[in-house]
Amino acid sequence: MLGVFVRAALRPGMVKQCRPIRLTTRIPERSLVHQEGLPKLPVPSLKQTCERYLAALEPIVSEEELEHTRKLVEEFLKGGVGERLQKGLERRARKTENWLSEWWMQSAYLDCRMPVAVYTSPGVVLPRMHFQDRQGQMRFAAKLIAGVLDFKKMIDGETLPVEYLSGKPLCMDQYYQILSSCRIPGPKRDTVVNHAIGKIAPTHITVVHNFQFFVLDVYNSDDTPLTVDQLYMQLEKIWNSSLQTNKEPIGILTSQHRNTWGKAYNNLIKDKTNKESVRAIQKSIFTVCLDAPMPRVSDEMYQSRVAAQMLHGGGTRWNSGNRWFDKTLQFIVGEDGTCGLVYEHSPAEGPPIVFLIDYVVKYMQKTEMVRSPMVPLGMPQKLRFNITPEVKRDIERAKQNMNIMVHDLDVKVLMFSHYGKNVAKQHKLSPDGFVQTALQLAYYRMYDACCSTIETASLRMFKYGRTDAIRVTSVDSLKFVQAMQDPSKQNAERLQLLQKTIKTHQVNTYNAVHGQAIDRHLLGLKMLSIEDLTSIPEIYMDTSYAVAHHSNLLTSQVSSKTDCVMCFGPMVPDGYGVCYNSMDEHINIAITAFNSCEETNAGRFARAVEDALLDMRTLLEDAAPAKN
């Protein structure tokens, strides 16, 4: 593919003091210029990782398992295997710009064969809008498109403000991967293409309504973006020429298991028209899904219903066919005032996406629809698909699987309104550590045990950095949750344990964002042993390793200025996916689980989290007055 950059082939100490981490932005700075000065992702010391690995296992495996693992770790350290792999990893770090990014891209995303819908693509729920008809829907969508195009100007001009974490500039590369990009299924491994880097950058978006896709050119002949008014008129044309509701939901194919979709994709693009239509979607800057109204639910259920709509579209009767799940960015605007987005995860993490949302929301607030002089604009091109019997069969299969997935996903959005970041801050505690500890307490109360819990930490302090994992469950967190359940314990002792737990979490966070966590280092050593074709070291075949990587709680904080919440599916069949946005005065928390697992229940877990947050505040207030 000429001029197309394949993202898959990417260009490629213990902390004593730990201060709160602060995310800020600075303007103006050409965001790609600063990239060159970013440090490389370090390779932590082998001894440090082994020690931290054993410490992370302590609260989640039995004494016997831990003892067995200690021996394996010692062998790994002293027997020469670990040292050899470590040297190989250090060599790779010297030779590449980031020793991890390509491996991570492959193992976390492109090799992953589960459907992207629900399993890897996060959704974002935006505040409910007050329109209830198609005019409102299209006015909103037109403004939103204009806002994203305004944001794109900063990407095109490389004038995006550089973000800083604790005074250190962050890698801005992910922002350059989210527009004009798309994932492409392969029979064994997918790829991601970024058309923005080609010689001719795309000038169109795709709009989908009633399962029918349209190419909408969003620039005038003088390269200026269409105005909100012009966009509105074009959307109206699209709406009016896609009134039939009996169309084949071709987009549903993208929700399939990746091997299945990979095969179906080859069937689909055998036909020249289909191939051109698929290419138009892949190349588009982004997609806008004009969704049909969903069944009404109570106010209490509304956010949860929207989260589900963002993650899967609600099933084949509703909007699941109104998507191209491989597309990196899909904004969703429902006729009933629903709005949000779903994004394919491989090119970027949540923070750049919500930064874009914050920008667009602000843009929309200050932009009014101004009647512009009537410049005749062409009819947006409808994308045609020839549905052969083979394609029809693939669609039917995809529809069945989608409906199973929809029934299986259990979603609960908790809008915790009692307090927000303010309470933890007043008590000189990290708000993130506070919420994470509440999740630990909620889980322990429900299951009388703690579990492997990971929280995503950004590695963007390093060039092409993506993420590592903060191991949340610690010996300290276990002691705290046990003390909370033990009536013989006094509040003063519980408070001390809470403070210690949060401190430990903050140290682990600091280590993770500075490239000193354990998960990616262990992954790197394992990947190297696979590439070297040597036998995989015993520590990876051990039960403890499996327990540590079966994270029943997959968690992430994605904060934004907009009152929204990101959501994603669980990592394991018997686990929870928990994503939260801690705002000053309240916390939005999206919880997912699978209905097919008898032990999990998103609603029950949400109630347990709410109780835990309330009990922890009571504990703070009873035992220690806030320090203002």
Give a three-class secondary structure readout of 37-105: HCCCCCCCCHHHHHHHHHHHHCCCCCHHHHHHHHHHHHHHHHCCHHHHHHHHHHHHHHHCCCCCHHHHH
Minimum separation from the CB atom of position 361 to ligand COA (A)? 19
Of the candidates 275, 428, 530, 626, which one interacts with ligand COA according to CB under 6 A?
A: 428
- The site string for ligand COA over 350-379 (x = CB under 6 A, - otherwise) reads xx----------------------------
122 forms part of the interface with ligand COA (CB under 6 A): yes
Minimum separation from the CB atom of position 348 to ligand COA (A)? 8
Which residue, 242 or 499, is less far from ligand COA as judged by CB?
499
Q: Which positions ≥6 away from 190 have C-beta within 8 Å?
A: 8, 109, 110, 183, 184, 258, 262, 346
* Closest residue by Cα to residue 181 from 384, 10, 363: 10
The C-alpha atoms of residue 496 and residue 479 are separated, in whole angstroms, by 11
Asked if omega into 28 is within 30° of 0 (cis), the reply is yes
Minimum separation from the CB atom of position 502 to ligand COA (A)? 8
Q: Which positions ≥6 away from 528 have C-beta within 8 Å?
A: 85, 88, 89, 92
Of the candidates 425, 500, 549, 604, which one interacts with ligand COA according to CB under 6 A?
A: 425
Of the candidates 467, 473, 504, 508, which one interacts with ligand COA according to CB under 6 A?
A: 467
The C-alpha atoms of residue 207 and residue 215 are separated, in whole angstroms, by 7
The C-alpha atoms of residue 96 and residue 524 are separated, in whole angstroms, by 13
Of the candidates 340, 352, 431, 575, which one interacts with ligand COA according to CB under 6 A?
A: 431
429 forms part of the interface with ligand COA (CB under 6 A): yes
Report in angstroms the alpha-carbon separations of 66 from 56, 58, 248, 549. Answer: 10, 7, 54, 15
Minimum separation from the CB atom of position 468 to ligand COA (A)? 9
321 forms part of the interface with ligand COA (CB under 6 A): no
Size of the site for ligand COA (CB under 6 A): 24
Minimum separation from the CB atom of position 58 to ligand COA (A)? 22
Which residue, 254 or 458, is less far from ligand COA as judged by CB?
458
326 forms part of the interface with ligand COA (CB under 6 A): no
Binding to ligand COA (CB under 6 A) within 262-281 occurs at: none
22 forms part of the interface with ligand COA (CB under 6 A): yes
- The site string for ligand COA over 529-558 (x = CB under 6 A, - otherwise) reads ---------------------------xxx
Q: Which residues are catalytic?
A: 345
Binding to ligand COA (CB under 6 A) within 2-21 occurs at: 20-21
Tokens 């029809």: give the residue. 392
Determine contact, residues 581/587, Cβ cutoff 8 Å.
yes
Which residue, 430 or 600, is less far from ligand COA as judged by CB?
430
Which residue, 22 or 366, is less far from ligand COA as judged by CB?
22
Minimum separation from the CB atom of position 349 to ligand COA (A)? 4
Minimum separation from the CB atom of position 122 to ligand COA (A)? 6
Exposure b/e, 167-199, CB count within 10 A at least 16 = b: eebbbbbbbbbbbbbbbbbbeeebbbbbbbbbe
Minimum separation from the CB atom of position 423 to ligand COA (A)? 11
458 forms part of the interface with ligand COA (CB under 6 A): yes
Of the candidates 194, 322, 430, 588, which one interacts with ligand COA according to CB under 6 A?
A: 430
Take residue 226 and report the two structure tokens written for it: 């269409």
Distance of CA 576 to the CA centre of its chain: 15
Which residue, 491 or 559, is less far from ligand COA as judged by CB?
559
Which residue, 69 or 436, is less far from ligand COA as judged by CB?
436
Beta bridge partners of 587: 416, 582
Q: How many C-beta neighbours within 10 Å does residue 67 have?
A: 10
> Torsions phi, psi of 396, nearest 5?
-60, -40
Report in angstroms the alpha-carbon separations of 217 from 77, 308, 341. Answer: 59, 30, 21
Which residue, 73 or 356, is less far from ligand COA as judged by CB?
356
Task: With H, G, I as helix, E, B as strand and everything else as coil, classify residue 187.
Answer: coil
Determine contact, residues 508/453, Cβ cutoff 8 Å.
no
Distance of CA 385 to the CA centre of its chain: 31
Which residue, 27 or 530, is less far from ligand COA as judged by CB?
27
Binding to ligand COA (CB under 6 A) within 334-353 occurs at: 349-351
Minimum separation from the CB atom of position 572 to ligand COA (A)? 17
Binding site for ligand COA (CB under 6 A): 20-23, 122, 349-351, 421, 425, 428-432, 456-458, 467, 509, 513, 556-558
